[in-house]
Homo-oligomer: A and B are copies of this chain.
Amino acid sequence: MNGVTASDGPAASPDGTGAPRRRGRPPAAESAGTRDRILDAAREEFSARGFEKTSVRGIAKAAGVDSALVHHYFGTKERVFEAAVEVAFGPALAERDALLEGPLDEVGERMTRVIIGLWENPVTRTPLLAIVRSAVNNDTAAAVFRRLVASQLLRRIAGQLDRPDAELRAELAAAQLVGIAMIRYVIRVEPLASADPEDLVRRVAPVVQGHLTGP
């Protein structure tokens, strides 16, 4: 199983076509390209500055469009951030069903590969760094993180476990992977920062599996 896929997951566009969600629709050919350009600029801005210091005006400037167009496609800054998070987790959300459909005694390895794959891929690592930096520093961004990641990903995994403490199990499993992401990719402590990804999967997958289905 390959944990790394393209970065434009299905959640990037609310109706799957890249079409705007408001009136005043621009020419169709321009629409998808402009929206994607704004979203790329937003990911860069959120990543470089974090949620608080990023402005809709700054995103618009980086994308080479008018601020009104950012509002047109996304509404508020919180909604732009949410769209950027959805793109970052698109591959994980897209693989969620595959992740859940395989044998339950291998779900730990599949979850570990998906998360480490997202962080190893520079395309998805940038928005993930933005999410982590923002969620750590800002309550609005933390709420977006809770809503998308906790609800959409962890609760779905928990739903497959069929145990009364399933949600806590899923969160402790996620905690192992979040902590590795923090130490390896954010704080960059050696030797973990330079460890071979396959070595990490081999060491960590059984721990994640143990949290999810162990005694």
Contact = CB atoms under 8 A, between A and B. Distances in A.
Copies in the complex: 2
Contact of A182 (B154, B178, B190, B211): B178
| Interface class of chain A by DSSP | helix
Contact of A136 (B133, B171, B177): B133
Contacts of A171: 183, 189, 191-192
Nearest to A195: B168
A135 to B, nearest CB: 6
Contacts of A142: 186-188
B186 A136 contact: yes
B172 A175 contact: no
Interface stretch (A5-13, A36-44, A202-210): A202-210
Contact of A191 (B168, B175, B177, B195): B168
Contact of A187 (B145, B184, B188, B207): B145
A179 interface: yes
A172 B203 contact: yes
Q: Which 9 A-B pairs have the closest CB atoms?
A: A179-B179, A175-B179, A178-B179, A171-B192, A175-B180, A150-B189, A176-B176, A136-B136, A168-B191
Given A168-B203, A179-B182, 16 more contacts: A135-B186, A136-B182, A142-B188, A146-B189, A167-B190, A167-B191, A171-B191, A172-B180, A174-B183, A175-B179, A176-B179, A178-B178, A178-B183, A179-B179, A182-B182, A203-B211
22 contacts: A133-B136, A133-B137, A135-B186, A135-B187, A142-B188, A146-B188, A167-B191, A171-B183, A171-B191, A172-B192, A172-B203, A172-B204, A174-B179, A174-B183, A175-B176, A175-B182, A176-B179, A177-B179, A178-B183, A179-B179, A179-B180, A207-B211
